[in-house]
Amino acid sequence: MKAAPFDYVRADSLSHALETLNQFGGDAKLIAGGQSLVPMMAMRLARPTCLIDINRLNSLKDIQLQAHEVKLGASVRQRDLEFHPQLNSHLPLIAKGIQWVGHEQTRNRGTVGGSLVHADPSAELALAALVLDVRLQLESQTDGVRTLQAADFFLGPMFTAVGETEALTDITWPVWQGGRIGTAFEETAIRKGDFAMASAACQIQTSADGAITKISFGLGGIDGTPLVYPELAASLMGQNMTPELAQHIAHAAAQQSQPGSDMHASAEYRKHLAQALLTRALLSAYQESLNAQAA
């Protein structure tokens, strides 16, 4: 099938893009990498009357690294994250997660913002954004700028808080301070590059005696959005991770999810997978934090 007819506008500034979005009042869509939108249009699951191309807006491609946070423009390509020389030390969880996002070819075009706004429940960047509790900045011509935390951004499968005439402009990722940090990103997919059947991400900080001083973790692909577990995480503070504890926490987390069944896996199998992946992620991130230096 081919896409339904549409107009095309190449935005030459953010205000031009926002003005055009406003003119079409919800019938237009921004196009970034096109790696999700174009297939959706080809299947006629999306039928925008106008595509507003934001690929020439350099203001949306900035990467600003500071000691305590990294600000990524919405149109930063996934490939540019993967090969950024300092990103691994600032945001090791993204560096691990990005390896699982599609293929080299899709990462060459796909953007961070496009992935977050598309909001596939299996998207690795969405899971990392929730685990690290990123701050997202949105802008529209009529309402100006507003910011949201990740927990308020993802509302359901392919459904976010982004309004029809709003653009995501940048995403601020907190950088944990103090060293002794470990991260892990685990995933199972039918083939390398496919969307995850289930995924788990975890970031842990420990004290010199191995007690957990900060932890955040989540699961992807097993509910309408990726899930994070602040209450379970709080219950781990001050504890040393053991295989039994990791299994117990992973079981509790997986039980809180409501995965669907499809041709690839039953709901029960997805829960089982999520539990196994999260157990592995908790143990591996914990071990990495023990091996890491204090800052």
Q: Of the two residues 139 and 288, which places its CB atom closer to ligand FAD in the complex?
A: 139
Q: Interface with ligand FAD includes 204 (CB under 6 A)?
A: no
Q: Interface with ligand FAD includes 29 (CB under 6 A)?
A: yes
Q: Interface with ligand FAD includes 167 (CB under 6 A)?
A: yes
Q: 74: which 2 tokens?
A: 């919405």
Half-sphere exposure of 14 toward its Cβ, with a 13 Å CA cutoff?
A: 18
Q: Which of 79, 121, 124, 181 binds ligand FAD (CB under 6 A)?
A: 124
Site stretch for ligand FAD (CB under 6 A), options 6-14, 87-95, 122-130, 246-254: 122-130
Q: Which of 11, 30, 273, 274 binds ligand FAD (CB under 6 A)?
A: 30
At 147, give phi and psi (nearest 5°). -125, 150
Q: 34: which 2 tokens?
A: 């096109």
Ordered DSSP codes for 223-271: SSS-EE-HHHHHHTTTPPP-HHHHHHHHHHHHHT--PPP-SS--HHHHH
Question: Cα dihedral sign for 292, 184, 191, 249?
Answer: positive
Q: What is the nearest approach in angstroms of ligand FAD to the Cβ of residue 89?
A: 23
Q: Which of 9, 18, 20, 36 binds ligand FAD (CB under 6 A)?
A: 36
Site residues (CB under 6 A) for ligand FAD, limited to 221-250:
none
Q: Which of 113, 121, 218, 221 binds ligand FAD (CB under 6 A)?
A: 113
Q: Cβ atoms within 10 A of the Cβ of 212, count?
A: 20
Q: Residue 69, class by beta-carbon neighbours within 10 Å (0-12 exposed, 13-18 middle, 19+ buried)?
A: middle
Question: Cα dihedral sign for 90, 93, 96, 98?
Answer: negative
Q: Of the two residues 129 and 215, which places its CB atom closer to ligand FAD in the complex?
A: 129
Q: Interface with ligand FAD includes 274 (CB under 6 A)?
A: no
Radius of gyration of the chain from its Cα atoms, rounded to whole angstroms: 19
Q: Interface with ligand FAD includes 41 (CB under 6 A)?
A: no
Instruction: Say whether 294 sits in a helix, a strand or coil.
Output: strand
Instruction: Say whether 11 sits in a helix, a strand or coil.
Output: coil
Q: What is the nearest approach in angstroms of ligand FAD to the Cβ of residue 272?
A: 21
Q: Interface with ligand FAD includes 180 (CB under 6 A)?
A: no
Q: Which of 11, 95, 168, 249 binds ligand FAD (CB under 6 A)?
A: 168
Q: Give the footprint of ligand FAD on this chain (CB under 6 A).
A: 29-37, 39, 74, 101-102, 106, 109-111, 113-115, 117-118, 120, 123-125, 162, 167-168, 193, 195
